Amino acid sequence: MNSPIPLLATSLLALFSLLNWCAAAPHPDGELTIEVVDSATGQPIPARIHLSAGRQTPVPAVGKAHPKRSVKLMLPGAAEFGGHFYIDGKAKLPLKVGQYTFELEATPEYLNETGQFEIERHADDSKRVEMKRVVDLAKEGWYGGDLDTNRNAKDLPLIERAEGLKVVPNIDTKKTPDDMPADIDGHLIARTPYAWDLPVWLTGGKLAAIELIHRHSLRNGVVDNENDGRPRDKTLFPGQRGNGRWSETVYYHVLDCGFRLPPVAGSGSGANDNPVGTNRVYVHCGSEFSKEGWWEALQAGQVFVTNGPLLRPTVEGEPPGYVFHTDASHPATFEIGLNLATRVPVEYLQIIKNGSVDAEVRLAEWKDKKGKLPPVTFDASGWFLVRAVTSNPQMYQLASTGPYFVEAGDQPRISKKSVQFFLDWITAAEEHLHSLPNLSADDLATQLAQQDMARKFFAALLARANAE
């Protein structure tokens, strides 16, 4: 499959929100009417705006750029939150005298636009911003969702349109603690891959999906801990990318135990300052969208997750989640077709096979080969997926397809190493339970019994393992 060369936006301005500054005094000094339109059609489109007081200042040779103050406007109906708000095509902004920097986003399908303006006393100015669309995912049958939000319900219709999302369920965080799966429309979603009770949830067979990119991944950084689950070994998973790499590692062990759970994503918007859709899952539904069809396709694994690039694969014309049945006596080779669009520089593309890197391709090489990736070959059951990783130093920014599965002789791959990974996890979870100071004796006994059931399940799975 030939693929378009990725479209890269110009460098984004570094915006900071160290404190809120109320620019909308009862008697503003001036007004700016801002209009956001599609560059091709000229039609108004909703968008998210990050507005800061002060001009952009150069980054010093040593140290950080001077912080700017995020502007809080309290505009009716603007779904204002966490240093950003939404414009439904056109809005009048009451502002104090001064200089301003803005960044506009109209879904990941448009290039971001940044700029500056100045408000003088009694100003009544206007600014028209044209947003350039680089891809139309709905025309390709892909529809987005964010499965971890807790926002004001009345704001969601505008937010969904501005973010290009179709499924944004609100999670009641009072009823769903961070260390519990969320029940969304009857689907249990693990909100991180490293929750202490993940082996217990896997044993029960009720999980529908696992958030591969989750609320620890922020718009401009990362929550660098696992206080809501089993902590990573920082010697193996160091730095700002460690949390994301640990999340992937756990998820790959899930797949290597034979569980066919799709990856999903959630921003945690409301529990943190992320905009809705900072982390999102796209589901391939075909030509028509319905929420029922979206969830059905998600459960079938027809997904990719992202906090940056837009990565859409096909293998023999099939979306992710497909199971290829092969003859165990002959190797099977698969060609991966890939479409990629991104506003941020992608460092490399990788094919992950059975939890390890099977091939790595730099973006320039991929473009030179007109969008072709190396073939992947199986002589036994297994799985594979594609991921694209950006060069963002502040966070682990990536896109990952859902896995494809290969069954040789109708036997799924079950790895001894991955099953043992979860048996060791259960032992660590029991030690963790004993260390909790406020856990009653009855609760401790109940939870230890659940861990014991999980141990028996994985011990039986280990006896069936067919791969190292």
For the beta carbon of residue 458, count every other beta carbon within 10 angstroms.
23
Spatial distance between the Cα atoms of 104 and 50, rounded to a whole number of angstroms: 7
Q: Where are the beta strands (DSSP E) in 354-457?
A: 356-362, 376-378, 382-390, 398-401, 404-408
Separation CA 166–CA 157 (nearest Å): 10
DSSP-derived pairing of the beta strands 46-53 and 85-88: antiparallel
Q: How far apart are CA 158 and CA 160, in angstroms?
A: 6
Residues 262-313: pLDDT tens digits?
999 999 999 999 999 999 999 999 889 999 999 999 999 999 999 999 999 9
Strands across the sheet containing 90-95? 90-95, 30-38, 124-131
**How far apart are the C-alpha atoms of 152 and 316, rounded to whole Å?**
43
pLDDT for res 63: 32
pLDDT value at position 3? 39
Element spanning 430, H or E: helix 416-435
- CA distance linking residue 367 with residue 2, whole number of Å: 10
Average pLDDT per block of 10 residues along the chain, 468 residues long:
38 32 58 95 97 62 47 82 94 91 96 93 91 96 97 96 97 78 94 97 95 96 95 96 97 98 97 96 94 97 97 96 91 94 93 97 87 93 97 94 94 96 98 95 97 98 96
Closest CA to 90 of 102, 79, 78: 78
* CA 302 – CA 405 distance, rounded (Å): 12
Q: Quote the CA–CA distance of 179 and 47 in Å, as a whole number.
A: 33
Determine the pLDDT at residue 371.
Answer: 81
pTM for the complete prediction?
Answer: 0.91
Nearest to 351 by CA among 337, 330, 364, 332: 337
Beta strands in 146-233 (DSSP E): 165-167, 182-184, 187-190, 207-213, 217-218, 221-222
Q: What is the pLDDT of residues 5-19, one digit of tens each?
A: 343 333 333 333 323
Chain-centroid distance, C-alpha 101 = 27
Distance CA 306, CA 142 (A): 13
Q: Which two tokens stand for residue 160?
A: 């969904």
